[in-house]
Structure 1
Amino acid sequence: MDDIGTSTYLQWLRNEFEESPFWKHMGITFDRFEPGDVIIKMPVKKELGNSNGVMHGGALTSILDSIIGATIRSTREVRVATISLTTQFIAPVKEGTLYARATLINDGKRIQYVESKAFNERDETIGTALGTFAILK
């Protein structure tokens, strides 16, 4: 794909993610969006808290899953589906903004392995995930 085609696709993809009902509900937006180099962010808000007063593990898992899909799709025009996601909860978060970044492990045609990391404004790791994703045409 040429630079114009890539630029048009990335603009469309950015809009597709940021306008999705789930991303809007969670408050997820892009902080950086380049092919294969994507960072998303999500505010730590009261509505995402659990009974312990910290962000619910499901909210953390959501940003770790979301960054993987966005990163894969930033590198090629495909749809993806999560097959499995193993999440490690490392530190609680009560306030601020959560960021996430993913690293593609392989260039699979049908299956993609990816690692993701969520971190706070001080670059402290809050959680990580190892994902297996199906590549859909």
Structure 2
Amino acid sequence: MTEEHLEKVRTDFENSPFWTFIGLELKELKEGYVLLALPIQKEFINVRNSVHGGIYASVMDTAMGMAGRSLGYDEVATIHLNIQYLKSVMEGTVYSEAEVIHQNRSTVLIEGRLMNEDGELIGHCTGTFKLSIGEKG
């Protein structure tokens, strides 16, 4: 993959309103792999006094979408997510790692992992994403 394409992926995601709103930070981006960090904000805490599962899903979905785009595609759309919530977290920073595990002509299967600051797995996800070349019109 070209450095120019990876830079475009980085720029597109970092300039999105959602990225800014939630406070994501890019730690690593290479072809087929992404690592993001998310400092926990008080607004993420649910009635159980832990980070809401929707935050887990959003962060893993974002990392996995970036991993799909890193393969050279202009558009990646989530078709299916399967999420396992393994452990709760209440503070600190979480890290979302995504890696492509299978690709065909029009879709890609990606594995997402969410870890706490101690490196413990707190969420696991697999997702299928539709791939397309060409800018949105």
Q: Same fold (TM over 0.5)?
A: yes
- Structure 2: tracts of 5 or more residues without a match: none
Q: Distance in 2 between matches of 1:24 and 1:17?
A: 9
Correspondence list, 1:1-137, <5 A: 6-137=2-133
Which residue identity is paired with 1:75? Answer: L
TM-score by length of 1: 0.91
Q: Which has the higher helix share?
A: 1
**Cα distance, 1:99 vs structure 2:** 0.6
Answer yes or no: is the 8 Å Cα contact 2:107–2:129 preserved in 1: yes
Q: How many residues were matched structurally?
A: 133
Runs of 4+ in 1 over 4 A off after TM superposition: none
The CA deviation string for residues 59-99 of structure 1, in whole angstroms up to 9 with x for no partner, is 00001101111111112133110011011000001011111
**Cα distance, 1:49 vs structure 2:** 1.1
**Cα distance, 1:36 vs structure 2:** 2.1
Q: Distance in 2 between matches of 1:136 and 1:11?
A: 18
Which residue identity is paired with 1:54? Answer: S
Identity %: 35
- Structure 1: tracts of 5 or more residues without a match: none
SS in 2 for 1:75: coil
Which residue identity is paired with 1:30? Answer: L
